[in-house]
Amino acid sequence: MPGHARRGDIRNIAIIAHVDHGKTTLVDRLLQQTGTFRANERLIERVMDSNDLERERGITILAKNTSIRYRGVKINIVDTPGHADFGGEVERILGMVDCALLLVDAAEGPLPQTRFVLKKALELGMRPIVVINKVDRADARPHQVLDEVFQLMINLGAADEQLDFPHVYTSAKLGYARLEIERTDSDVRPLLDLILDRVPGPPGDADAPLQLQMATLDYNDYVGRIAIGRISRGRIRLGDPIALLKLDGTVQTWKVTRLETFEGLKRVGVAEAAAGEIVAMAGIPDIQIGETIADPNAPDALPPIRIDEPTISMEFLVNDSPFAGQDGRFVTSRHLRERLFREARANVALRVEETATTDTLKVSGRGELHLAIVAETIRREGHEFQLSRPQVILRKDGAGHLLEPIEYLVLDLDEAYRGRVMEMLGSRRAELADMSGAGTGRVRLEFTVPARGLLGFRREFLTETRGTGIMSHVFHEYGPHRGDIPTRTRGSLVVKEPGTTVTFALHNLEERGTLFVGPGVAVYEGMIVGEHSRDNDLVVNPCKKKHLTNMRSSTSDDTIRLTPHRDMSLEDCIEFLGEDELVEVTPKSVRLRKRRLSAHDRKRVERAASETAVS
């Protein structure tokens, strides 16, 4: 293959979009209609979402590779996450492909994550194919949405050739794609034809010395760590010696023990692969993302993959509650440290740092959801640990001014709630950037708001809009510090003594606030069982039983009807946390607690703090 000629038999594309705009469903249809599945094969919806957490939440968390064959050409497809918290996955995947399919919901239009992923693609010089999906929706407005995408590209500084983008209208659910909305095509062939016609083949000289950069990692119990990346130039053969160029500049020599390419949903072993192909290879136990594999005789390193820095940090602590060790198999600081550092090797947007104490690790990520997914993943593996309240990561500019992460927030809500929501955000130092849809019943509000101001906001927003509001946000920039922001406006209901909750006591506590537990739940001193209706903490006894008397009816307790308690997920607990509170996470339960379990200890610390403030 001469010079920088492009291969005609391969296309490498990524599918990028805002969360829940239909990326994974579209991949399903492409796989089905190109004969990847047998006629009698049982089909699973959202087949690319292979992770349990992804299936439960309906979102893509990890980028996945697959391939289809159409008109004699192999199309490698990477399904990427739509949530900005997993943007580290998107950034490094775009370096593996030559074009991106930008999916946009025909009703919702471009949203914050659309802006985020599109900006990354434009920075790499890609000419995206715009796919207006869900055109079968009753409220679809495909032509307006196409205009909005064009305007968004102009706002992001797209070049003239990038603004001349091809587009196609699809319904991934019904399995069709149409170049014009009026056409009657009933399959996805128009999209596949567009990919072959408009996506360039991968560049690379197959006869030059080998160069291959690792973009993702997988793990297999039999062969160990599996590295996945695209061959920039040259060929790689099974059994060949290769040079691993580490990020610190050192060079190691290894041998390729396993080499695979992607065929449909499977990885198929091959003896050789050439420039332009996406391969998975084993044989190097400690390879990291961003490192280069090269010919030992010409060890040229590719530039390291640049990933945006984390904006939120959280402490992971060893579980020291009275219930520690009852549920989990891995409970020590050694287990927690090993697991978090192992996660950081594959999850490049994550940072893990040691602290002054051996039982606490500082973990930084791209957002609350990013850190919550990490916690949920290792919890399901049998680990026990505790989490602190998230903190934003502040910086200073060259002049010494304090900078903080600013988020771009988009809210879609009923017009009746607009005034109250804007008032809530005003106290959180938000600035209105745009407002549209006034007079139609629903409005879209766009703000720039400090990341600090969004901690705990989602719960209040959903309560205020009676569950009808839609909220999404993405990292915008590091901007000047906007001053103090009020923290949580309500206190906690804190347990006075250990025991088991009873209906009689919980019924008496209902008027004091919102309960997080029902009857028959084991509790300990210092555990949080609800949200107080006022701004102070209240020590309560949810285990107090009704005293027996001769006049007591045997059925009187049966007539007590409790209001259903609020089930708190891990994300809900993290949002609720105050400065002096922790989330206890075990494989079977998630509990809220005070850092200092004893009420006497908490009062002593408060008294000492107030005396210090006065002096």
pLDDT tens digits for range 257-284: 889 998 887 888 999 999 889 898 887 8
Instruction: Give the 3-state secondary structure percentages of the chain, helix then strand then coil, rounded to 5.
Output: 25, 30, 45
CA 91 vs CA 19, 54, 245, 563: distances in Å = 16, 20, 21, 46
Higher pLDDT residue, 194 or 47? 194
Q: Strand 470-480 vs strand 590-594: parallel, antiparallel, or unpaired?
A: unpaired
Whole-number Å distance between alpha carbons of 31 and 41: 12
Enumerate the CATH 2.40.50.250 domain ranges in the chain, comma separated: 492-614
pLDDT band at 205 (very low <50, low <70, confident <90, very high): confident
Mean local confidence (pLDDT), 66-80 = 86
pLDDT band at 538 (very low <50, low <70, confident <90, very high): very high
Looking at 427-532, list the stretches that DSSP marks H as alpha helix, in order from N- to C-terminal side: 451-454, 457-464, 503-509
Name the superfamily (CATH) of residues 10-198: P-loop containing nucleotide triphosphate hydrolases (3.40.50.300)
Whole-number Å distance between alpha carbons of 457 and 469: 12
pLDDT of amino acid 39:
47
State whether residue 43 is helix, strand or coil.
coil
**Average pLDDT of every residue of the chain:** 84
Asked if residue 213 lies in contact with residue 302, where contact means CB atoms within 8 angstroms, the answer is: yes
Neighbours of 448 (CB within 10 A): 18
Asked if residue 359 lies in contact with residue 318, where contact means CB atoms within 8 angstroms, the answer is: yes
Higher pLDDT residue, 50 or 317? 317
Q: Strand 167-171 vs strand 129-133: parallel, antiparallel, or unpaired?
A: parallel
Asked if residue 220 lies in contact with residue 260, where contact means CB atoms within 8 angstroms, the answer is: no
Q: Strand 73-79 vs strand 10-17: parallel, antiparallel, or unpaired?
A: parallel
Domain over 211-294 is classified CATH 2.40.30.10: yes
Higher pLDDT residue, 84 or 574? 574
pLDDT of amino acid 288:
81
Mean local confidence (pLDDT), 436-447 = 81
pLDDT of amino acid 2:
40
Which helix (H) or strand (E) segment holds residue 333: the answer is: helix 333-346
Higher pLDDT residue, 397 or 84? 397
State whether residue 292 is helix, strand or coil.
strand
pLDDT of amino acid 249:
86
Mind listing the pLDDT tens digit for each residue in 390-424?
Answer: 999 998 888 889 999 998 888 888 889 999 999 99
407-416: b (≥16 Cβ within 10 Å) or e: bbbbbbbeee
Domain over 492-614 is classified CATH 2.70.98.10: no
pLDDT band at 439 (very low <50, low <70, confident <90, very high): low
Higher pLDDT residue, 137 or 218? 137
pLDDT of amino acid 32:
84
pLDDT of amino acid 59:
52
Whole-number Å distance between alpha carbons of 183 and 362: 55
The residue count for the chain: 615
Whole-number Å distance between alpha carbons of 447 and 431: 5
Mind listing the pLDDT tens digit for each residue in 24-46?
Answer: 788 888 888 887 655 445 444 44
- Cα 540 from chain centroid? 37
Whole-number Å distance between alpha carbons of 512 and 524: 20
Q: Where are the beta strands (DSSP E) in 18-153?
A: 64-70, 73-79, 99-105, 129-133
Asked if residue 62 lies in contact with residue 51, where contact means CB atoms within 8 angstroms, the answer is: yes
What is the number of alpha carbons within 13 Å of residue 116 lying toward its C-beta? Answer: 30
Mean local confidence (pLDDT), 456-464 = 83
pLDDT of amino acid 431:
93
Asked if residue 118 lies in contact with residue 16, where contact means CB atoms within 8 angstroms, the answer is: yes
pLDDT of amino acid 55:
47
pLDDT of amino acid 61:
44
Which helix (H) or strand (E) segment holds residue 30: the answer is: helix 23-33
pLDDT of amino acid 486:
79
- Topology given in CATH for the domain delimited by 395-480: Alpha-Beta Plaits (3.30.70)
Mind listing the pLDDT tens digit for each residue in 281-301?
Answer: 887 887 888 889 999 998 888
Whole-number Å distance between alpha carbons of 378 and 136: 39
Mean local confidence (pLDDT), 425-429 = 90
DSSP state of 201: P
Helix-helix angle 189-198:23-33, to 10 degrees? 100
Q: Which of 82-91, 347-356, 447-456, 526-535 has the lowest mean pLDDT?
A: 82-91
pLDDT of amino acid 221:
67
pLDDT of amino acid 37:
58
Mean local confidence (pLDDT), 537-549 = 85
Residue 605 sits at the vertex; the CA angle it makes with 460 and 491, to the nearest 5 degrees, is 20
pLDDT band at 541 (very low <50, low <70, confident <90, very high): very high
CA 128 vs CA 81, 167, 363: distances in Å = 17, 9, 35
Closest alpha carbon to 199 in 210, 211, 191: 191
Give me the sign of the Cα torsion angle 444, 446, 447, 451: positive
Residue 237 has pLDDT above 80, yes or no: yes
Mind listing the pLDDT tens digit for each residue in 477-527?
Answer: 889 998 888 777 789 999 999 999 999 899 999 999 999 999 999 999 999
Enumerate the CATH 2.40.30.10 domain ranges in the chain, comma separated: 211-294
What is the number of alpha carbons within 13 Å of residue 430 lying toward its C-beta? Answer: 27
State whether residue 153 is helix, strand or coil.
helix
Enumerate the CATH 3.30.70.240 domain ranges in the chain, comma separated: 395-480
Closest alpha carbon to 79 in 69, 88, 66: 66
Residue 189 has pLDDT above 80, yes or no: yes
530 by Cβ neighbours in 10 Å (0-12 / 13-18 / 19+) ranks as buried
pLDDT of amino acid 3:
43
Whole-number Å distance between alpha carbons of 455 and 489: 12
Higher pLDDT residue, 557 or 305? 305
What is the number of alpha carbons within 13 Å of residue 12 lying toward its C-beta? Answer: 24
